[in-house]
Each structure stands twice: as structure tokens, then as C-alpha cells.
Amino acid sequence: MSGPTLRKRGGRFWLRVTEGMQINELWRQFSADARTSYRLYSQDVDAARGAGVPPARHFVAMARQFFWAFLEKLTPARRVLLLVAVVLLFFPGNELRWKIGSAEVGGYAPDLRLWGSILLLVLLLMEVGDRVVMKRDLQIAKEIQAWLLPAQPPAIPGLEIAFATRPANTVAGDYYDVFPRPGGSTYLMAVADVAGKSVPAAMLMATFQASLKTLSDTPGPLTELVARINRYACSNSQNGRRFTTAFIAEFDPATRALTYVNAGHNTPIVLRPSGAVERLDVGGMPLGILEAAPYQSATVTLNPGDWLIAFTDGVVEAENPAQQQYGEERLLTMARWGVNLAPSVLLGYLFADIDRFVANAAQHDDITCMLVKSSG
């Protein structure tokens, strides 16, 4: 086989392995994966060194804790397989000689390191198999979750709306929606964040979405709707451990009045054309903690040129490699810079700015933002 053909096949092989990623991109991905794995195992490790404990002994204790933190993530059978494989790696083959009477006999002890490596490969294949199955199930869950979230905002007289979410994992615990309230001429807006991440949070997000859509059919003021959602959330929150923060608002296009309840959520912002900032903080505690929790509402008017910015904590708490947070001030700076843009355009610039700020640091939380611009 000629050299050019080998190089061509080698290039195709490398392209298939890397999916077209450059070396620097592969390194960033590896670094992010390594940091994520370290956080997974280090959460079970007590890194504090006691008074009078020598550094060497502390290092040994830390190594032992990390070893158990890793080992306990495996099933008992795989733990045994791993331990056997590690032990076999320390038994290289050696020539043996011994005497039987006056005669010297030679032999050879088999090199067990090969079998140790094979056992490690078998363990790796088993873990990869589990990961593939889990990834397939998560992909299905991601598709189902995408059906629950609106692809496009509805056309509301006097408003331009854009929203987007970026999960920290395959599925997210953040929720957003805008839809007409049944039986009336008003529209409901919601941005919510379930405590936690990944599959448990995504499942509770689905129950929140279902309760909001179902209970909004019942006539009544917004505070009663939120109270009913809270009572339902309390029945699914594991005694308050799986609570949900939410900003729920009702907009009347005829009067431009936005009535809202902030249930322990990050405070949304109304940015006026003058540059004045109004924070929407009236409401109550997060949903799912106390069944009889009271909720209050407040009303603001969205005049032409006003912006409503609602977001989850993943936006303002996004961290760069120096562990500095994106922060509300930088969010406001972007909003003031883009007041003359369409919400969809500004939202794209906002997510790009978050990416620039975060650089190659891992995303710790789901990121969701809704931008609403009041037009004439």
C-alpha cells in the first residue's frame, strides 16, 4: 500500500476519532472533563490537614480517600475486578532457578501484567457500555424536554420576546415559557429553576410545567395561581429538599400592566429608556418548601422602550477560570449596550459574552435568560 494512501486513511481515522476538533479544542475538553471528574470525587474527600499531621501522612490519607471515593462509584463485582487487575500489574515475569539435590532446575514465572491490563480493558469496556446506554437514555430525555419548552415565543401585541437555555448537563432543571392564559386576554410568562441539576431536576421541571399549564386554566388572581402551584410542588419536593424558584408574571396587552410574583427567584430587572433600573422582588419563598406559604404580587407598567430581563442564577454565577462570577453588573452593561437591538439579537450577544468571560472553565449550572422589549 502506497504512502499517500496510508496517510489518507490515517487522516480519515484521526478525523473520525476527533470529530474534526483541533488539538487545542481537544485539550480544553480534556481539561474540562478532568476538572469535572475531580469535583465528583473530591466532594467525598476531607482535604483539611489536622494540627500536627505531617504533610507526607496527610498525602497518604488524601490518596486513600480518593481511592475509596473512586472505588465506591463501581459495583461490588467491578471493585473486585479492579483490585485484582491492579494487583496483577505488580507481578512481572521472572526467571526462577532452584536446586533439587545436586541438580539445578530452571523455570519461568508467567508475566501477569498482561492479564492485569486485559482485566482493566474489560472493566473499561463495561463502564463505557454503561455510559453509552445512559447517554442514549439522556438523549431521549433531552428530546422530550425540548418538546416541553417553547421553540418560539407567541406574538404578543406591544412586546418582542426572546428566550434561550443552555443546560450544564444533557438535561436541565431550568424552565421558561410564555403562553396565553386560557379564558382571558392576558399572557403568562415564567422563568423557573429547580434546585439541583441533571435528571432529578429535569423530572421536577416537567412536573412544574404540567402544574403551571393545568392550574392556569382556573380563573383567579396570580397570587392564587402561584399558591396552588406551591401546594402541588410541596407534594413532590421531598420535604422541601427539591424546591423550585420561579418568576411568574401575567401581562395585559390592553393596559401594558405586568403583574408578577417572585417566588424566591433571581430578581428580574426592568430597564427603562432613561437607564433607570427597577428590580422585581415582590413575592414569597421558593415553591415546594412550605405548603401554606403566603405570596404577594406587584404590578409594573412596560412602556415603549422598556426591557424586562429575567434569568436564572446560572447567568450571573457563571465563573471564569479565576472563579470570578459574571455578575449582574456585567449583565446590565450588555443590556444597556444593546437597548436598540431586537431581543433575539441581544440574547445572542449576551450568550457570546458569557462564553468569552467563562473561556475554558466548566459550566457549573444551567443558563437560562428571557428578554422582553416593550415596543410602541
Answer for the pair 281, 344: CB distance below 8 angstroms, yes or no: no
Q: Which residue type sits at 323?
A: Q
* Confidence at residue 176, expressed as pLDDT on a 0 to 100 scale: 92
Checking if the pLDDT of 94 tops 80, the result is: no
> How far apart are alpha carbons 282 and 247 in whole angstroms?
10
Q: Provide DSSP, 131-153.
A: HHHHHHHHHHHHHHHHHHS-SS-
Checking if the pLDDT of 145 tops 80, the result is: no
> Across-strand partners of 372?
161, 308
Answer for the pair 308, 259: CB distance below 8 angstroms, yes or no: no
Q: How many CA atoms lie within 13 A of 33 on its CB side?
A: 6
Sheet holding 269-271, edge to edge: 159-166, 367-374, 307-311, 269-271, 277-279
Spell out the domains of the chain, with CATH numbers in brackets: 156-374 (3.60.40.10)
DSSP 209: H
* Confidence at residue 146, expressed as pLDDT on a 0 to 100 scale: 74
- The H-or-E segment that residue 99 falls in is strand 94-100
Mean pLDDT of the chain: 85
Q: Which residue type sits at 228?
A: R
> How far apart are alpha carbons 194 and 236 in whole angstroms?
12
Checking if the pLDDT of 346 tops 60, the result is: yes
pLDDT digits (tens, 9 = 90+) for 319-334: 988 889 999 999 999 9
Checking if the pLDDT of 1 tops 60, the result is: no
Q: Provide DSSP, 148-183.
A: HS-SS----TTEEEEEEEE-SSSS-SEEEEEEEPTT
> How far apart are alpha carbons 298 and 282 in whole angstroms?
6
Q: Which residue type sits at 119?
A: L
